[in-house]
């Protein structure tokens, strides 16, 4: 898939993550020349109605999120059999990588990161989204040391209505 142009716009540059349902690529938006992250439903799941529904549900949930600690969804598309979501690209290291490199975080740093993650989760909850996959490898720290929580990289589900 590297080098593929999706929807005449997003050129896939490198794979940056893989999960049970999707593969995430760093890409360039050829209309704006900005880097983006493209989450592509795995090809072997493209014709599975359950996974297509889950992927669409994730897009709908992510579209409700506007928060400074949550990566923004910018586009949703279909290119042939390829279903994809486009989000802002966050460069930096995951929390897991930071902990592996530096070891134990100071209480102050751990508290700041926790507050940012909880703020993002509160926003998701207030928008009817349940987060089901919290882990250090999906929280990024940017060069400005602002933790961003990529809600699109997570399993999100609408909350049951009473």
Task: Note the pLDDT of residue 76.
Answer: 94
The first and second tokens of residue 40, run together, are 């592509």
Taking only the tens place, the pLDDT of each residue in 13-35 is: 999 888 888 999 999 999 999 99
The first and second tokens of residue 153, run together, are 């990289």
The first and second tokens of residue 82, run together, are 């390829």
Strand, helix or coil for residue 46: coil
Catalytic positions are: 133
Taking only the tens place, the pLDDT of each residue in 75-126 is: 999 999 899 999 988 877 777 888 888 889 888 888 888 888 888 888 888 8
- The string of DSSP letters for 6-32 reads ETTTEEEEEEEEE-SSEEEEEEEETTT
The first and second tokens of residue 134, run together, are 């919290």
Map out the domains of the chain with their CATH numbers: 5-88 (3.30.200.20), 93-158 (1.10.510.10)
- The string of DSSP letters for 63-117 reads HT---TTBPPEEEEEEETTEEEEEEE---SEEHHHHHHHH-SPPHHHHHHHHHHH
pTM above 0.85, yes or no: no
Task: Note the pLDDT of residue 139.
Answer: 56
Taking only the tens place, the pLDDT of each residue in 47-63 is: 999 999 988 888 888 88
d(CA 161, CA 37): 32
Of residues 132 and 105, more confidence is placed in 105
d(CA 158, CA 25): 26
Kindly state the greatest CA–CA separation across the chain. Answer: 49
Task: Note the pLDDT of residue 17.
Answer: 84
Q: Is the dihedral of CA 43, 44, 47, 49 positive or negative?
A: negative
């Amino acid at each position: 898939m590297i080098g593929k142009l999706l929807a005449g716009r997003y050129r896939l540059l490198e794979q940056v993550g893989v999960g049970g349902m999707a593969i995430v690529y760093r890409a360039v938006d050829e209309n704006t020349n900005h880097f983006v992250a493209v989450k592509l439903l795995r090809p072997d799941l493209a014709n599975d109605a359950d996974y297509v529904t889950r992927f669409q549900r994730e897009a709908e949930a992510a579209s409700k999120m506007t928060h400074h600690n949550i990566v923004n969804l910018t586009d949703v598309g279909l290119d042939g059999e390829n279903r994809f979501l486009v989000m802002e690209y966050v460069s930096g290291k995951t929390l897991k990588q930071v902990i592996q490199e530096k070891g134990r975080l100071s209480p102050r740093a751990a508290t700041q990161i926790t507050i940012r993650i909880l703020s993002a989760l509160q926003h998701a909850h207030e928008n009817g989204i349940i987060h089901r996959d919290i882990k250090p490898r999906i929280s990024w720290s940017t060069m400005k040391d602002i933790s961003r929580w990529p809600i699109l990289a997570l399993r999100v589900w609408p909350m049951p209505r009473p």
